[in-house]
Amino acid sequence: MHPAFSVIFLTTLLGAGQGLYLAMVTGQLYAVARFLPAQADQFYAVGSLVALLLLIAGLGASFFHLGRPERAWRAAAMWRTSWLSREVIVLPIVMALVFAYGVAHWFEWTQPLFQVGAALQVDLTLLLGVLGTIASLALFVCTAMIYAAVRFLQEWHTPLTVSNFLFLGAASGFMLAAAYSAYIGNPLVTFYGTWAVILTLVGLASRLAHLRRNARLKHKSTVQTAIGVRHASVVQKAQGATGGSFNTREFFHGRSQSLLERLRTVYLVLVFPIPVLLIGLSYLIGSSNLPIIAFFVQFAGLLIERWSFFAEARHPQNLYYQSVA
């Protein structure tokens, strides 16, 4: 498939924004459970603001992929059958909950609303945090299922697509939370950094499983089925005047297989081992800069990873247009 940069930025920015929001709520829940010291409300408010900005940037990137942006609202009409429609509906709900969570912390609306059991006092921020967490997880599923539900693109049609979007997005968000904590000198940098490493390693296992699965795929369509000729040896030599058509531009990336393999190596290094090593090194030498570098290195790697994800999907129409594809 042809990777559109608007979709690459959309999915990676949304993932980082959702992950950062989940990190903020996780930190608050740990503080409520007294596993971590309570933080000032402004810490969660600013973190939520950064998450919201990432979500807005991702939404803005998506408009560059639309031929008629003024008709984007119509995408929500097919919510019964379309994961894209469900994403269009869930995304503003997540943005509204992230905004409300940040506002509630900023104005310190932390008076208990009700009590659960003997010790757990639920205030507005905690309630919004739980609702936002559910909505964020739903958004991860909706975004990933847009691709995982496409049966004829076998590289995408797997639950591993959903797990990759979830864990890689969450890892980048927790990595950003560690960078944010390091930047302001908050002691939670160790907490967020440790979670970022755990999520990165889980994401590595999921992505490697995805690559291993795709390498063993037996495609249902062949050159013979593409053109309806049963001869054992069918080779297209030229397309003539149809070469370079819409189909060849839209459904193929136009790059060599060797480039895809090199990019695969690059993103596997940038997304996984280097950020983990940088976080570990920051613990050893007490550096506040290394978590920040770790986030930017991982996010750059995720942009390459998402480009490869789209490029590695082989659209069956390329069997027909094989001489150009």
Q: Which of 13-27, 29-43, 201-215 bottoms out in mean pLDDT, i.e. has the lowest?
A: 29-43
Contacts 24+ apart (CB under 8 A), 213-222: 213/158, 213/160, 214/154, 214/155, 214/312, 217/154, 217/155, 219/154, 219/314, 219/316, 220/154, 221/152, 221/316, 221/319, 222/319
Residue 202 · residue 137 · CB < 8 Å? no
pLDDT band at 121 (very low <50, low <70, confident <90, very high): confident
The verdict on residue 234 lying in a domain is no
The mean per-residue pLDDT over the stretch 219-243 comes to: 73
Residue 158, in any domain of the structure: yes
Mean of pLDDT values over 257-270 = 95
Taking the C-alpha atoms of residue 26 and residue 86, their distance in angstroms, rounded to an integer, is: 25
Q: Is 187 part of a structural domain of the chain? A: yes
**Res 106: pLDDT:** 96
Least confident of 57-66, 96-105, 288-297: 57-66
Output DSSP code: residue 116. E
Give the pTM: 0.92
For residue 66, tell me if it sits in a domain: yes
- In a domain, residue 309? The reply is yes
The answer to whether residue 15 sits within a structural domain is yes
Q: Which residue has the tokens 């010790």?
A: 119
Measured distance CA(207)–CA(193) in Å, rounded: 20
Q: From its phi and psi, is residue 52 left (phi > 0), alpha (psi between -120 and 50) or beta?
A: alpha
What band does 289 get if pLDDT is binned at 50, 70 and 90?
very high
Which range of residues forms the domain containing residue 140? 5-217+249-316
Least confident of 23-32, 115-124, 293-302: 115-124
pLDDT of residue 241: 59
Q: What is the DSSP string of 15-63?
A: HHHHHHHHHHHHHHHHHHTTSSPPPPHHHHHHHHHHHHHHHHHHHHHHH
Banded pLDDT at 86 (limits 50, 70, 90)? very high
Residue 200 forms part of a structural domain: yes
**Residue 204: inside a domain:** yes
Q: How many other C-beta atoms can be found within 10 angstroms of the C-beta atom of residue 266?
A: 15
Work out the average pLDDT over 232-244: 68
Domain count, the chain: 1
Q: What is the pLDDT of residues 143-194, one digit of tens each?
A: 999 999 999 899 999 999 999 999 999 999 999 999 999 999 999 999 999 9
In the structure, how many helices (H) and strands (E) does the chain have?
A: 11, 2
CATH of residue 57: 1.20.1630.10
